[in-house]
Amino acid sequence: MKSFCFNSLLKRNLFLNQQILKLSHYPYFCLLQTVNSLNELYPDYEYIIGASNYRSDLKKEDFDKKKWLLGGFSYNLKAQLEPRCSNYLKVNIPFPDIAIFEPEIVYYVKHNEPLLVHVEGKIIDNQCNKQYVDYLSFKSIETKVSYEEYSSQLQTIFEHLKRGDIYEVNYAIEYLINDLNLNPIHYYNLLTQNSPTPQAGILKWEDKWLFCASQERFLKKTSLKLISQPIKGTTSHNLFNEYKTAQNLFLSTKNRSENVMIVDLVRNDMNRCCYPGTVQVERLYQIQTYQYLHQMVSTIVGKPQKGLSNYEIISSLFPAGSMTGCPKIRAMQIIESIESSGRGIYAGSIGYFHNGNFDFNVVIRSLVWNESLKLGSFHTGGAITLYSEIPKEYEECQLKAKAIINSFKYPKLYSLVKQ
């Protein structure tokens, strides 16, 4: 291992940017970024950056070893973990169900050592001289789900709710961006500057890219603790009275009911892999504020059982309950029967394994790009309960799409984030 010490954050960031630009040319690349100032309760690493020329032939037991592994899990992994679930819907930009690779080189920065950049592995030769465009362009942004179709699909969900099939379900719609040209790193900077978040990152898998500005942690494991932080409950900013807006979210019966149902689901899932009596709700209904919205977050912790592999622990909770509903299996079945397209890596997770521990986010607020087809995709959605009102739910979907859509509205600002 090598370490580089810098005398300022500016010099450190310039160095990291150089490594990110270099490593992003490789077929397998991952950047994980945690902004500690944005509500991060369990910080370890501010940056993790890794790349490889080769697709790793990994086994599930490799997830428990000391070496670094980077990447993610697609939502469609659910069908491997639960026989009662299926993957009928077409995914427009599919990632592998398990898109994890072993990097040849890793750069990382710990939160408690912000001026130190650690390096593990060998410097890999740059085998690609590809030049990306310095502008952002696209032909159109569209969704196949009109307001009328959205209303019809929610009416079907309400019928399931009234019958007691489910108590809550997360319903999502997909937007497609046609003929999309962009510079991957510049776009990621634009996205995260437009909407800074504590669980952001990039995953490149051959010609497919994920640009993620997520606020939500799916699951983190240390030697003694599991941590999950589901988000349920969202409202937009009110420039004239921010405090009242946040307070109204905190007191909202609908949002509290959505949040506590997912908290109970996560507690139930976590009890499958934790010692009895150790699963606790550490924080309930915490309001976190971001650039465009306020969100309600709860924190559930537990002590993982010895003898369980990391893959078994993740399998106990995947996919994130906030992206499915409850009861979880029935909710996933209904999602598959109602949504208009497959989710792919949306609602999945990206993160790392290292030294027996791991930390994975929930893939939300994200753009997926097929570089070869010049096709982009992103999803937005929300929890549907009997308290839900169709116009407000549709409005929430549009609000969540705002950070992505705004990044496409101002291509002239694109050059401002090159450095």
Say whether pLDDT at 37 is over 80: no
Q: Which amino acid is at 18?
A: Q
> In this predicted model, what pLDDT tens digit does every residue of 204-242 receive, in sequence order?
999 999 999 898 999 999 888 999 999 887 777 665 666
Confidence of residue 73 (pLDDT cuts 50, 70, 90): very high
Check residue 91 and report its DSSP letter: P
Residue 253: per-residue pLDDT = 82
Do 202 and 71 form a contact (C-beta atoms < 8 A)? no
Confidence of residue 413 (pLDDT cuts 50, 70, 90): very low
- Of residues 74 and 413, which shows the higher confidence score? 74
Most confident of 118-122, 201-205, 304-308, 412-416: 201-205
349, containing H or E segment: strand 349-354
> In this predicted model, what pLDDT tens digit does every residue of 290-314 receive, in sequence order?
766 788 899 999 999 999 999 999 9
- Pairing type for strands 349-354 and 226-229 reads unpaired
Query: Cβ-count burial of 2 within 10 angstroms (0-12 exposed, 13-18 middle, 19+ buried)?
Result: exposed
Check residue 401 and report its DSSP letter: H
Residue 418: per-residue pLDDT = 37
For residue 200, which phi and psi values (nearest 5 degrees)? -90, 165
Domains of the chain are: 2-417 (3.60.120.10)
Confidence of residue 250 (pLDDT cuts 50, 70, 90): confident
Residue 244: per-residue pLDDT = 76
- Of residues 403 and 322, which shows the higher confidence score? 322
Alpha carbon distance 347, 262 (integer Å): 15
Mean pLDDT of the chain: 88
Residue 14: per-residue pLDDT = 94
Can you tell me the mean pLDDT for 20-38?
85
How many residues are recorded in the chain?
Answer: 419
Can you tell me the mean pLDDT for 13-19?
93
**Which of 36-45, 62-71, 88-97 shows the lowest per-residue confidence on average (mean pLDDT)?**
36-45
Q: What string of DSSP letters covers 36-84?
A: TTTT-SS--EEEEEEEESS-----GGGGGSSS-EEEEE-GGGHHHH-TT
Do 346 and 404 form a contact (C-beta atoms < 8 A)? no
Alpha carbon distance 408, 347 (integer Å): 22
Rounded to 5°, angle at Cα 178 from 173 and 184: 95
Residue 419: per-residue pLDDT = 34
Alpha carbon distance 18, 212 (integer Å): 20
> In this predicted model, what pLDDT tens digit does every residue of 183-196 receive, in sequence order?
999 899 888 876 67
Question: Of 194, 219, 245, nearest to 402 (Cα)?
Answer: 194
Q: Which amino acid is at 225?
A: K
Alpha carbon distance 398, 213 (integer Å): 16
Query: Cβ-count burial of 271 within 10 angstroms (0-12 exposed, 13-18 middle, 19+ buried)?
Result: middle
In Å, how far from its chain's centre is CA 358?
A: 15
Please report, for residues 70, 176, 272, 376, the alpha-carbon distance to residue 142 in angstroms, rounded to integers and kept in the order given.
Answer: 32, 5, 41, 10
Do 144 and 340 form a contact (C-beta atoms < 8 A)? yes
Confidence of residue 131 (pLDDT cuts 50, 70, 90): confident
Say whether pLDDT at 403 is over 80: no
Torsion of Cα atoms, 389 then 390 then 392 then 396, to 10°: 130
Alpha carbon distance 357, 33 (integer Å): 17
Say whether pLDDT at 370 is over 60: yes
**Which of 53-62, 159-168, 251-260 shows the lowest per-residue confidence on average (mean pLDDT)?**
251-260
Confidence of residue 417 (pLDDT cuts 50, 70, 90): very low
Residue 144: per-residue pLDDT = 80
